[in-house]
Amino acid sequence: MGMLAILVSLLLLMFLAYRGISVLLLAPLMAALAVLLSGDGALLLPTYTETFMRALGNYVIQFFPLFLLGALFGQLMADSGAAHSISNGIVKRLGTHHVVLTVVMACAVLTYGGVSLFVVAFAIYPISRELFRQANVPKRLIPASIALGSFTFTMTALPGTPAIQNAIPIPYFGTNSFAAPGLGVIAGLIMLGLGTYYLQSRVNKAAANVEGYGNHTEREADANSDTTSAPSMPLAIALIPLVMVIGLNALFTYGVFPAMNLSFISDAFDNVTPSRQTGLWAILISLLSASAWLIITRWRHWQDLKATINQGCFGSLLPIFNTASEVGYGAVIASLAGFAIIRDAVLNVSPNNPLISEALAMSVLAGITGSSSGGLSIALQTLGSEYLTMAQQAGINPELMHRVATLAAGGMDTLPHSGAVITLLAICGLTHRQSYGNVAMVTIVLPVAALVSVITLGTLFGSF
């Protein structure tokens, strides 16, 4: 009965989220339903206040600064004209003969530099639309091109990426954002190379079938994606904040923090282990520094700096609380008796290789929640300590566990009910029927192939 209760609540969560109901409401309601169906109705209110809200609050405490600074930096990049300058610069260099690669690389540069994938989608879509129209390439391929550059290798694979998905495993495994850099680069190249090849094959097939851009009413996101009013910025200057994010992150991760004696922090805060936090602190410092650089150096060019800062800060609230609500839901599910059966089944999938078990857990939960960060957080919240223990017993470097976790969470997170997919299609003014098949290929099939490759290499050669 306990397992049935979990299954019913999960299926309803997926269905209702796909229908557009906010996770802020769905998560506590579906958690309550699971409790009631499990026969623990008498514990409903304390489960909500002590389990759901405590897990939600702990997640906000841990990751809200990263969401806040990430959203603020993205808004500053957009409103300063830096994002537009970078995307235009890439367009000029790659031109309209390689429209797919142009869009993918423009998205990749921005997201790897710390710009929110939603900000990137809004910024890149108008440019993509004109490129695809000029090249007479079907518009239905635009979402997959944006998704490949924004939702895949720069989010989960490339070492040092400031994406929240790459930061979540840090406190659980005591790693940093550059964990298993060699394997991350290999996974990134697999996704980029195969993804670009696949999309280009779709372009060639469309050309052979004499399928052009198509007839579309361009009403989609013009009001939200108008970048013509953004101030101009030289490309070299626009790239500086992106370089700062990655460079400062690496500097503090490998240089500043390792050279410091941080024992005084443990003396002052009993529950803080510096080695498990410095990776996250490095990302925060780099985002804050890059944001400050943008504000100061563009001081005379802001149209409305206060509005930009406010919009960036407010833009962090919905993502953080959506994800935190999913974490609260996961904590309630993990507290139910039926979850013990599921947990034991997942942990015993491959007792000799926890990488496979971990990949399965992250993939399933990311698929259920429609969110890589949500699934990753739930999985590590409930199973993180077990996986660390299993890795230590098997002699597996925690960095490899970190990289496999992020790659797995970024594989099944774009099922049809995913909020990111729904938002992207809305920005482009297209439907699931028109574009989802190609989106699924580049954001699910190929990332899973990269994940399998990393698990295989990691098992054979260890972390590198």
pLDDT score of 221: 45
Burial 387-425 (b: 16+ CB within 10 A, else e): bbebbeeeebbbbbbbbbbbbbbbbbbbbebbbbbbebb
pLDDT at residue 126 in the model: 79
Number of residues written out for the chain: 464
Could you say which DSSP state residue 210 is in? T
Distance of CA 299 to the CA centre of its chain: 31
Residues in the chain where the model's pLDDT stays below 70: 95-96, 217-231
Place of tokens 């938002």: 423
Q: Report which DSSP code applies to 274.
A: G
**Residue-level pLDDT at 218:** 59
**Residue carrying the six token digits 């994406």:** 163
160: left (phi over 0), alpha (psi -120 to 50) or beta: left
Q: How many CB atoms lie within 10 A of CB 140?
A: 24
Give the torsion sign (CA, 333, 335, 336, 341): positive
- Answer whether 409's CB lies under 8 Å from 363's CB: yes
CB 144 within 8 A of CB 441: yes
Task: Summarize pLDDT for 110-136 with one digit per residue, the tens.
Answer: 999 888 787 788 778 878 888 898 889
Which DSSP string do the residues of 84-146 spell out, in sequence order?
HHHHHHHHHHH-GGGHHHHHHHHHHHHHHTT--HHHHHHHHHHHHHHHHHHHT--GGGHHHHH
For residue 287, which of 102, 74, 53 has the smallest C-alpha distance? Answer: 74
State the pTM of this model.
0.82
Cα–Cα–Cα angle for 167, 383, 361, nearest 5°?
Answer: 85
Q: Which of 362, 378, 279 is nearest to 325 (CA)?
A: 378
Quick one: DSSP state of residue 201? H
Residue-by-residue DSSP string for 233-278:
--HHHHHHHHHHHHHHHHHIIIIIHHHS--HHHHHH-TT--GGGTH
Residue 91 CA to residue 88 CA, distance in Å, equals 5
Q: What is the DSSP string of 198-210?
A: HHHHHHHHHHHTT
C-alpha closest to that of 400 among 359, 344, 371, 430: 359
